Structure 1
Amino acid sequence: MEDTEARWTADQVLALAPDAASRTAGARLAAPAPWSGTGAAGTAVWGLCAGSGSRPYQTVVDLSGPAFACSCPSRKFPCKHALGLLLLWAAGDGGPVAAGAAEPEWAEQWTAARHRKAEAAAAAVPGPGAAPGGQEAAKKRAERRAVRVEGGAVELEQRLTDLLRSGLAGSDRAGYQQWDEIAARMVDAQAPGLAARVRELSTVAGSGGDWPSRMLEETGLLHLLARGFLGRQRLPAPLAETVRTRIGFTVDSAELLAGPLVRGQWLVLAQYDTADERLTTRRIWLYDGASGRFALVLSFGAAGRAPELALRVGTVLDAELAFHPAAVPLRAVLGTRYGMGLPEEVPPGTAVGPALDSYGTALADDPWLDAWPVLLTDVVPLPGQDRWHVADSADAAVPLLGADHWRLAAISGGRPVTLFAEAGPTGLRPLAGWTRASPIPIAL
C-alpha cells in the first residue's frame, strides 16, 4: 500500500471535534501511553486504545473522507479516541504512528468497505449529457447506507467476540446498558434489524430456565446475520435478499407490484397487532388452498394508531400478491382485489410431524425466521402441569406458547379441530381454530 498522505496539523484535527468536551478529551489521549498497534498506510490510520474494559478500543480513520470508526460506545463522530489517534499521527513520522505499517484485519475490513463505496459511486456518475435522475440518487443513497451497515456489522462482530470471551454467565448481572449502547450503534449504522435483535438478546439474560443456552443460540444467529451481510456477494441471490431484509433493508411496494404477481383465492387466516413505543405492526396471514401457499401481509401505523389495512378473518380474497424476494418467500404486498367471498370448506392441513418438518426445512433456508405458518388437522388441545400442548391422532404433540388456552379448548370441546398457528423455536402460537368452514380467531 502506498505511503500515507501528508500529515495534518493539530489544529486541523481539532477542527473535526463535534464539541469542546471532545477536543479536551481527544487532546488528553494524544499521548503514546494508552495506545498500541498503531500504524498508517494509504489513507488509513489505526490503533488500539486502552479503556476501562479488558479489551482496547479499535479505532480507524479514513483520511480521504474523513470517516471514523471506533468500537467505543460513544455516539459522537469523531469520538475522543479518533481525535487522539489523529493527533498522534499529526505529530509526524517520529511519533508513535509510523507510516507503511501492515493494516490489521479489523481495520482492513472497514477501509475496504469504504473503498468499495467510493468505486461504486464513481461508476455511478452519469456520462456527458446524462441528467442524474431519481434512480441514480436512490442508488447512491443505497450504496452509502450499505457501507454504513458494513461498518456496523464489523463493530457488532467485535462486540460479540468480547461478549463470548468474557463468558455469558455474567450477562444477567451486566444490566441493559451495554445492550442499549450496542443497539444505538446499530441504529446509527442504519441497521435496524441488527438493533432489534440486540434488544431481544438483552431480554434473554437471566430470563429463567436454561437462559445461557438460549443466549448462545441467539448470539450465534446474530453473528451469522452480521457475517452474512459482510459476505453477501458470495451468497445465492435469494439468501442474499433474505439477509438484506433481516438487516432492515426494504423494497418499495410499487417496485414489487410491477411483477411478477401471484393471483389466488386467499383465505384470511389470522390478523393481529403488536406495538412498541414507535410503531404498531399488523400481521395478516393468508392462505391459497389451490397452491398450498401462505402469505404474510404487514401493515404499519404510528404508535398508538391502528394500521390502515384491515381484512376480516374467515373471508376469501380473489386478489393478486407480490412476494418479497427471499430464500423463503412469505412476506407479500397486496395488489389488485377482484372480489371477496366466504370459504366453502375447512382448508386441508397436516399432522404435527409433517408440519414440524416443514418448519425445519424453512429454517435451513432462513435461520432467522421468527414465525412459520402451519395448518394442523385433527388436533386436540391438552392442558398440562406446566404447558398446554396439541396432539394429533398419532400421539405426536407440540407445546403451545402462553399459559391460557381455554378459548381454543372451548372451540374444540374435546374434539379434534383444525388449527392455524405460528411455529417458533419454543412452540406454537395458536391464531385460529375451525369446527366449521370459517376460522374462529384465538386471542393472543
Structure 2
Amino acid sequence: MAKDGSWPERGVVAAPAGGASALWGECKGSGSKPYLAAVHLDGAGGPAYKCSCPSRKIPCKHVLGLLALWAQEQVDLREERPDWVSTWLSDRSARQERARSGASATATDPKKAAATLREREESVTAGMEELRLWLRDQIDAGLAEAPKHGYDHWDRMAKRLVDAKAAGAASLVERLPGLVRADDWPERLLERLALLHLLARGHRAGEALDARVRGAVRARVGIATRVEDVLARGERVQDTWRVLGLRDTVAPEAGMRARRLWLRGTESGRTALFLSHARPGQAPATPFRVGTDVTAEFAFHPDGHRAVAVDQGRTTPASPPAGGTAAEALDAFAAALAEDPWTEAWPIVLDRAVPGREDDRWWLIDPDGAALPLTTSEPWHLLAVTGGHPATIAAEWSPGEGLTPITAWGPDGKAVSL
C-alpha cells in the first residue's frame, strides 16, 4: 500500500501549534472509486483511523500504507483538503469538546435516534436474509465444491454482512475457509453452516424467542448493547462472586487481544463473563483478581452471561470454589448451549481432578474416572502447581477442542493462574 503511485491525492493537515494534526489520502483500489483513508494524530486518547474499505481491521492496510508514506516524508502539508476530511475532523473535534464539557455525545433527538435504530435493524435484517439464501446455495451446490472455492467466495458474503452492520455474523463466515484444511472438514464445515443457518433463523424469529435466547442471537449477529443501556435496563444480581479465572486470546488477523474473565455467584450459582479488548501492545482490563470473592451487584447483558459491575464492591480472599465431576460439567455446558447454541467457551470447575496421559494426549480425570481431553500437549505449568495430586481446577471447555486450564488451587489453597 505504501507506493507513491497508489496515492494520487494525499496530504497533511497542520496542527495549530505546528507539526501534523492529521493525514488523509485517496488510495487507488481494484474498483472505480478510491479508498478514502485518514488518521487523526492528535486526538484525545491516541490516534484515530478512518477508511472507506470494508475491512474490520483497525487500522486497515490502507491506513498503515498512508502512515508508512508519511514516515518516509512522502506526504506533504496541504492547505486544501476534501470535504470528507473536513467533515470527519470537525465531527471528532465536536465529540471531544462535548466529552471535555461533560455533555453526552449521543443523539438527544428521540425521533432521530429511533430512525437511526430502525435503519440499523432493517440493514441487519436484509443482510441476515441474504445470508440465509447464500447458505441454501452452498448446500444445493454440495459440500464437495467447498475445497474448490478461493477465499473470495467466502469474503464476498462476509463483506456483505459487514456492510449490513452484522459484523458478528461476518466473523463467523470468515472462519469457514479455514475449516476446509482440516482432515474432517466435511463434518466441521457442515456443523458451522448449520449454526449459521440457525443464527439466521433465530434472527428472523425475533420477538418469538425467549428473551435470553434473543439476546444471544442479537449479540452473535453483531448488534451490540451499550454499557449505559445495560446499566439502565439490564437484569441486576447482587451476590458474592468468586473469580474463577481468565483467558487471553489473540485475533490473528487484527492482533487484538481479548480477555475473558469468569466469575460465579456463590448464592445464585450464576455465571458472569467480563469481556475486554486491547490493541497490540496494550493489556486488556482486569477488573477483578483471580482467587478472590467480590461482593457486588452486576448488571447483565440481554444474553444473560456478559456482565457489567454496577459498583466497585468489596473484595476479600477466597477459598477454592466448589467443583464437580466431568459429567456435571458437561451438563452445565449443555444448559448454556440451550440458551446460546453458538457458545464456544464455557467455564467449568472440576473437584479433585488429576492430569493423566494416554496415547500421546493429556486428560483431566475426575474421582469417578471420567476424563476430559486437554487442549495442550504439554501441561507442565499445571503439573508444577498440583504436583500431579488431586486439585480443584478451573478450565474453559470448548466443544471439539477440549479443556484449557485457567486456574489451579494448589495444596496450600492459593489460586495460581495458568
TM-score for the superposition, normalised by structure 2: 0.70
Q: Deviations over 1:143-195 (max 9, x none)?
A: 11111111111211222122112222342342322112211111011001101
Work out whether 1:317 is the aligned partner of 2:291.
no
Instruction: State whether residues 244 and 291 of structure 2, in contact with CA within 8 Å, keep that contact through their aligned partners in structure 1.
Output: yes
Instruction: State whether residues 216 and 339 of structure 2, in contact with CA within 8 Å, keep that contact through their aligned partners in structure 1.
Output: no
Work out whether 1:234 is the aligned partner of 2:215.
no
C-alpha displacement of 1:202: 2.1
What does residue 129 of structure 2 align with? Answer: 154
C-alpha displacement of 1:310: 4.3
1-structure distance, mates of 2:346, 2:337: 9
What does residue 413 of structure 2 align with? Answer: 437
What does residue 186 of structure 1 align with? Answer: 161
Q: What is the number of residues matched between the two proteins? A: 313
Pick one of 394, 405, 409 that aligns with 1:420: 394
Pick one of 242, 246, 262 that aligns with 1:271: 246
Q: Secondary structure at the match of 2:175?
A: helix
Instruction: State whether residues 272 and 283 of structure 1, in contact with CA within 8 Å, keep that contact through their aligned partners in structure 2.
Output: yes
Instruction: State whether residues 267 and 316 of structure 1, in contact with CA within 8 Å, keep that contact through their aligned partners in structure 2.
Output: yes
Instruction: State whether residues 271 and 311 of structure 1, in contact with CA within 8 Å, keep that contact through their aligned partners in structure 2.
Output: no
Report the residue type matching 1:225 in the other structure: L
Pick one of 186, 189, 192 that aligns with 1:212: 186
What does residue 348 of structure 2 align with? Answer: 374
C-alpha displacement of 1:226: 1.0
What does residue 11 of structure 2 align with? Answer: none
2-structure distance, mates of 1:380, 1:352: 12
What does residue 202 of structure 1 align with? Answer: 177
Task: Report % sequence identity.
Answer: 38
C-alpha displacement of 1:432: 0.9
1-structure distance, mates of 2:215, 2:355: 38
C-alpha displacement of 1:279: 3.4
TM-score for the superposition, normalised by structure 1: 0.66
Q: Secondary structure at the match of 1:256?
A: helix
What does residue 40 of structure 2 align with? Answer: none
Instruction: State whether residues 212 and 339 of structure 2, in contact with CA within 8 Å, keep that contact through their aligned partners in structure 1.
Output: no
Pick one of 226, 244, 248 that aligns with 2:222: 248
Work out whether 1:340 is the aligned partner of 2:320.
no
Structure 1 unaligned blocks of 5 or more = 1-20, 24-73, 76-131
Instruction: State whether residues 352 and 390 of structure 2, in contact with CA within 8 Å, keep that contact through their aligned partners in structure 1.
Output: yes
Q: Secondary structure at the match of 1:300?
A: strand
Work out whether 1:305 is the aligned partner of 2:279.
no
What does residue 82 of structure 1 align with? Answer: none
Pick one of 245, 261, 264 that aligns with 1:284: 261
Q: Secondary structure at the match of 1:341?
A: strand
Report the residue type matching 2:414 in the other structure: S
Instruction: State whether residues 275 and 303 of structure 1, in contact with CA within 8 Å, keep that contact through their aligned partners in structure 2.
Output: no
1:10-409 paired onto structure 2 within 5 Å: 133-208=108-183, 210-258=184-232, 260-276=235-251, 277=254, 279-326=256-303, 329-343=304-318, 345-409=319-383
C-alpha displacement of 1:234: 2.4
Report the residue type matching 1:367 in the other structure: P
Choose 179-188 or 287-296, whichever is displaced more: 287-296
C-alpha displacement of 1:301: 2.6
Report the residue type matching 2:376 in the other structure: G
C-alpha displacement of 1:323: 0.8
Larger radius of gyration: 1
C-alpha displacement of 1:278: 6.4
Q: Deviations over 1:90-143 (max 9, x none)?
A: xxxxxxxxxxxxxxxxxxxxxxxxxxxxxxxxxxxxxxxxxx944433322121
Instruction: State whether residues 244 and 321 of structure 2, in contact with CA within 8 Å, keep that contact through their aligned partners in structure 1.
Output: no
C-alpha displacement of 1:308: 3.8
What does residue 17 of structure 2 align with? Answer: none
Instruction: State whether residues 280 and 304 of structure 1, in contact with CA within 8 Å, keep that contact through their aligned partners in structure 2.
Output: no
Report the residue type matching 2:306 in the other structure: R
Structure 2 unaligned blocks of 5 or more = 1-30, 34-52, 55-106
C-alpha displacement of 1:364: 2.1
